Amino acid sequence: MRHAQAAPATPGAEDFTRPLTAAGRAAAARAARALVAAGARVERVLLSPANRTRETATIAAQEFKLDELLLQAVPELYAAPAAVIRNAIVLHHGGARTLLVVGHNPGISELASQLSAHRAPAHLPTAGLCRLPLSEAGWRQLTQP
């Protein structure tokens, strides 16, 4: 999942601290509710520690009725390319079989495209997500170094 819409960047302010807009918070909830309605389960959430991804992940976790202890901020996910996101999954999945990763473009869209065999959009919009069911072998391949 890509983080939801954030407040615009302002001169002198850190990109890392930008919060979600009201529209972004609503979009994050809608996206998570759509996953819940589709029967998706989430056991663990990995997220970039930026404010906008943390807010997006927290909203999604509430929709999934996940304990916030199952959310893990992974510093290397901030503005990470696909290869770094994939490595973070390997290192931090914690044995979970269903995982939500909340990150930034272009890396999160690149990884979705790589894992989806052309079923994912090339560019996830804000609050966009891609559900990727993997076979047991596919999950093992993804989560083992």
**What are the tens digits of pLDDT across the range 78-103?**
999 999 999 999 999 999 989 999 99
3-state class (DSSP) for residue 26: helix
What's the pLDDT score for residue 55? 98
Higher pLDDT, 13 or 53: 53
Enumerate the domain spans of the chain.
18-143
Alpha helices in 5-135 (DSSP H): 22-37, 51-63, 82-92, 107-116
Give the mean model confidence (pLDDT) for residues 113-123. 74
**Model pTM score:** 0.93
Q: Which residues contact 81 (CB under 8 A, 6 or more apart)?
A: 106, 107, 110
What's the pLDDT score for residue 110? 92
Per-residue confidence band for 139, with pLDDT thresholds at 50, 70 and 90: confident
Q: Which residues contact 61 (CB under 8 A, 6 or more apart)?
A: 42, 45, 67, 68, 70, 71
Per-residue confidence band for 118, with pLDDT thresholds at 50, 70 and 90: low
Alpha-carbon gap, residue 139 to 135, rounded angstroms: 6
pLDDT tens for residues 7-38? 998 888 899 999 999 999 999 999 999 999 99
Residue 39's region, left for phi above 0, alpha for psi from -120 to 50, else beta, is left
Alpha-carbon gap, residue 70 to 127, rounded angstroms: 20
3-state class (DSSP) for residue 18: coil
**Mean pLDDT for all residues in the chain:** 92
Q: Which residues contact 49 (CB under 8 A, 6 or more apart)?
A: 16, 73, 74, 75, 77, 78
Residue 61 identity: A
CATH number of 18-143, picked from 3.10.180.10, 1.10.287.110, 3.40.50.1240, 3.40.50.620: 3.40.50.1240
Alpha-carbon gap, residue 57 to 66, rounded angstroms: 10
